[in-house]
Amino acid sequence: MSSNLIETLAAHPACEVVRKAGLDDFTHRNPRALLFFSGDVAQRPEGLDVAVVVRELASAYADRLRVGIVDRRDETALMTQFGVVVTPAIVYLREGNATELVARMRDWPVFAQACDRLLATNDAAAVQATGGNA
């Protein structure tokens, strides 16, 4: 059953399975993206809960970002690359660089607000940061 949920997620139109060798291509094609590290869901069933959240994020933000589901065979290498210490985890990527990491199951706003920050344009962020002091 656990692998079925991950397989179903991989079939979502806004998702794709990412291998280490294809990571550069994925980030080049998708300047704003999420990487989902499910971990071993047999040992850490929380990964299934986060997979449901990832499916909802993929649907809610489908027209604005892609979800890369990290292939389990490459998780350890990519965890090191992106500073992931515990799974399940979602890494938020802008131009291939990690901007945020959310590990373990959290409330929906934690995941959604991280997506909103990821998708904010640099200009909007700069205006927001100045707070009208110009």
Q: Which two tokens stand for residue 78?
A: 């990519």
pLDDT per residue as tens digits for the range 7-24? 889 999 999 999 999 999
Q: In the predicted model, what is the mean pLDDT of residues 47-63?
A: 94
| CATH for 123 | 3.40.30.10
The Cα–Cα gap between 93 and 81 comes to 13
Q: Output phi, psi for 61, to 5 deg.
A: -115, 20
Pairing of strands 15-18, 66-70: parallel
Q: Which two tokens stand for residue 122?
A: 């640099």
Q: Looking at the DSSP assignment, which residues form a beta bridge with residue 48? A: none
Closest CA to 60 of 52, 48, 70, 49: 52
Query: 76 is in which domain, residue-wise?
Result: 2-130
The Cα–Cα gap between 112 and 119 comes to 11
Q: Looking at the DSSP assignment, which residues form a beta bridge with residue 103? A: 89
pLDDT per residue as tens digits for the range 89-117? 999 999 999 999 999 999 999 999 999 99
Residue 34 reports pLDDT greater than 90:
yes
